[in-house]
């Protein structure tokens, strides 16, 4: 079964048409009627790790705040990041580590709502290779799938290999495998031996026997075991200039998303899945419910950034990001996130 449904294609088409017609979103924040209007790019809108964005919309929490939110999608976070930099959108729901990576290139982005303190990523291995690949120490000589080169899955994969003295390009090969059906096909066809992906793809692979879990970073325990600490990932991040100029708008977004996080923490996977668009579940409702249930514990309930987690992200990036390597001491970490808006939302 393919859990990447036609909704992704529809959203992609809508994105192209919508962005072609819009003004530069760095200055456009209101509709003609005066209602606050924000365009948000999501690094894979049907991935469970980014579920709060669509769930907030489905629950009517953005509307409740008097804000109109247009959600668009890109398959990888690195592409979503580019949409923000070019001014096509005003915010991104993607991995926090992009804010650090881009600061070293002179661009100021900050996480205004930290949705999760862990990646929610899973290293999957082909059943035919499971007996040979039992840990990251066995990556040597393998072809490993990542969402895209330069993506968060790229950096995390390199970090896992480095812990065992392995280097990408020399000891193993990283392959752009995308997500959803493209990742499944890559693993099934032998284009990759193992790779990093998220739910609902993980649930699909496990249920069909096409993949086995090697490393699970959907829990704090699994993340600490794999990465040595927390790794804040899914977040709502925006340009620092936009945040300063549109604080009331940012506050409304934070209010809606913090309320959504509280909904997630107090409801079951099945209850959450029931609020999502039917297309997200494809033809297997029960499997989608399981995917949400298996992943929902990754989300925090207050949207706050754990400072120690941010430090750990910097540690990982300083070893593998071409932009951050050698610049760790010059990174102003406190400028890559703020708790101002989530503090007010909780209050």
Integer-rounded Cα Rg, in Å, for the chain is 19
* Inside any domain, residue 1: no
pTM (2 decimals)?
0.86
Residues 23, 109 share a domain: yes
Which residue, 192, 216, 240, sits at the end of a domain? 216
What is the 8-class DSSP label of residue 333? G
Same domain, 94 and 169: no
- The predicted structure's pLDDT at residue 32: 38
Looking at the structure, tell me whether residues 115 and 255 fall in a common domain: yes
What's the pLDDT score for residue 78? Answer: 66
Please tell me whether residues 112 and 133 are part of one structural domain: no
pLDDT mean values, one per 10 residues, the chain (347 residues):
41 42 48 72 92 98 97 75 86 94 94 97 97 97 94 91 94 95 96 96 95 95 92 96 97 98 98 96 93 95 94 91 90 97 95
Where a domain ends, among 181, 216, 251? 216
For residue 92, which of 60, 117, 69 has the smallest C-alpha distance?
Answer: 69
So what's the pLDDT on residue 284?
93
Whole-angstrom distance, CA of residue 86 vs CA of residue 24: 8
- Show the domain range for 276: 6-119+232-346
In a domain, 224, yes or no: no
Q: What is the DSSP string of 158-226?
A: HHHHHTTT--BTTTBEEEE--STHHHHHHHHTTS-SEEEE-TTHHHHHHHHTS-EEEEE-SSHHHHHHH
CATH assignment at residue 90: 3.40.190.10
Are residue 148 and residue 88 in the same domain, yes or no?
no
- pLDDT score recorded for residue 75: 65
Residues 85 and 146 in one domain: no
* Same-domain pairing of 129 and 206: yes
Domains contained in the chain, number? 2
| Residue 234 host element (H or E) | strand 234-239
φ, ψ for residue 217 (rounded to 5)? -110, 35
In order, the DSSP letters of 33-74 are TS-EEEEEEESSTTSGGGHHHHHHHHTTHHHHTTEEEEEEE-
Q: Classify 306 as helix, strand or coil.
A: coil
In a domain, 227, yes or no: no
């Amino acid at each position: 079964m393919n859990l990447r449904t036609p909704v992704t294609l529809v959203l992609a088409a809508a994105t192209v048409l919508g962005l072609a017609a819009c003004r530069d979103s760095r200055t456009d924040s209101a509709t003609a009627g005066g209602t606050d209007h924000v365009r948000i790019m999501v690094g894979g809108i049907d991935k469970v790790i980014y579920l709060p964005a669509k769930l907030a919309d489905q629950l009517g929490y953005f509307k409740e705040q008097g804000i109109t939110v247009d959600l668009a999608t890109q398959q990888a976070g690195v592409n979503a990041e580019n949409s923000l930099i070019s001014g096509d959108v005003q915010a991104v729901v993607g991995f926090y580590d992009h804010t650090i990576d881009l600061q070293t290139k002179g661009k100021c982005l900050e996480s205004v709502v930290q949705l999760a303190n862990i990646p929610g990523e899973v290293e999957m291995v082909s059943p035919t290779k499971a007996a040979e690949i039992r840990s990251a120490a066995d990556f040597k000589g393998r072809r490993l799938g990542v969402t895209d080169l330069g993506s968060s899955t790229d950096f995390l994969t390199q970090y896992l290999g480095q812990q065992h003295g392995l280097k990408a390009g020399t000891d193993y090969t990283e392959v752009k495998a995308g997500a959803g059906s493209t990742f499944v096909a890559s693993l099934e066809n032998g284009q990759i031996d193992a790779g990093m992906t998220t739910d609902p793809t993980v649930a699909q692979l496990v249920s069909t026997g096409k993949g086995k879990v090697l490393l699970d970073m959907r829990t704090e325990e699994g993340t600490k075991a794999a990465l040595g600490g927390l790794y804040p990932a899914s977040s709502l991040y925006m340009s620092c200039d936009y945040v300063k100029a549109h604080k009331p708008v940012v506050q409304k977004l934070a209010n809606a998303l913090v309320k959504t996080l509280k909904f997630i923490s107090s409801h079951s996977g099945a209850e959450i899945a029931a609020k999502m668009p039917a297309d997200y579940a494809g033809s297997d409702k029960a499997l989608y419910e399981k995917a949400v249930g298996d992943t929902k514990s990754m989300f925090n309930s207050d949207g706050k950034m754990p400072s120690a987690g941010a430090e750990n992200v910097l540690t990982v990036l300083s070893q593998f990001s071409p932009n951050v390597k050698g610049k760790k001491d010059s990174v102003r970490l406190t400028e890559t996130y703020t708790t101002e808006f989530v503090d007010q939302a909780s209050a």
